[in-house]
Chains A and B, each alone.
Chain A
Amino acid sequence: MDLLTRVGRYFIFISLLFTRREKIGVYVKQILEEAVAIGIDSIFIVSIVSTFIGAVTCVQTAYNLVSPFIPDYVISLIVRDMTLLELAPTITCIVLAGKVGSNIASGLGTMRISEQIDALEVMGLNSASYLVLPKIVAAVLVFPMLITIAGFLSIWGGYVAGTLTGAITPEDYVYGIRADFIPFNVPFALIKTVVFAFLITSISAFRGYYTEGGALEVGKASTTAVTNSCIAVLVADYLLAQLLL
Chain B
Amino acid sequence: MIEIKDIRKEFNGRVVLDGISGKFEPGNTSLIIGGSGTGKSVLLKCIVGLIKPESGQVLYNGRDFWSGDADTKRDIRREMGVLFQGGALFDSKTVLENVKFPLDMLTDQSEEEKIERAQFCLKRVELENAANRMPSEISGGMKKRVGIARAIVMNPKYLFCDEPNSGLDPLTSVKIDELIQEITDEYQITTIVITHDMNSVLGIGEDIMFLHKGLKLWEGTNENILDTTVPELEEFLYSSQLIRRMKQSKK
Instruction: Give the B-binding residues of A (Cβ under 8 A).
Output: 20, 22-23, 26, 110-111, 114-116, 118-119, 121-125, 130
Contacts and interface: CB of A to CB of B under 8 A. Distances in A.
Contact of A123 (B45, B77, B84, B85): B77
Given A20-B70, A114-B88, A123 B50 contact: no
4 tightest A-B CB contacts, nearest first: A124-B77, A115-B88, A119-B88, A124-B74
B85 A122 contact: no
B37 to A, nearest CB: 16
A115 to B, nearest CB: 4
Interface string B56-78: 00000000000000100111011
Nearest to B98: A119
B155 to A, nearest CB: 13
Contact of B102 (A22, A26, A123): A123
Given A116-B88, A122-B49, A122-B50, A22 B82 contact: no
Interface string B99-142: 00010111000000000000000000000000000000000000
Contacts, number: 50
Contact of B105 (A26, A121, A122): A26
Contacts of A130: 105
B80 interface: yes
A210 to B, nearest CB: 14
Nearest to B90: A116
B48 A122 contact: yes
A118 B50 contact: yes
Contacts of B90: 111, 116, 119
B33 interface: no
Contacts of A118: 45, 50, 82, 84, 88
22 contacts: A23-B105, A26-B105, A110-B91, A111-B90, A115-B85, A115-B86, A115-B88, A118-B45, A118-B84, A118-B88, A121-B49, A121-B50, A121-B77, A122-B48, A122-B80, A122-B82, A123-B78, A123-B105, A123-B106, A124-B74, A124-B75, A125-B105
Nearest to B82: A122
Contacts of B70: 20
Given A20-B70, A116-B88, A118-B88, A124 B82 contact: no
A118 to B, nearest CB: 5
- Give the one of A110, A111, A124 with max B CB within 10 A: A124
A121 B80 CA distance: 11
Given A20-B70, A22-B105, A119 B77 contact: no
B16 interface: no
B189 interface: no
- Give the one of A20, A22, A23, A115 with max B CB within 10 A: A115
- Give the one of B48, B88, B104 with max A CB within 10 A: B88
A245 B11 CA distance: 51
Contacts of B75: 124
A139 B50 CA distance: 30
A124 B78 contact: yes
A152 B105 CA distance: 41
A46 B211 CA distance: 56
Contacts of A116: 88-91
B106 A124 contact: yes
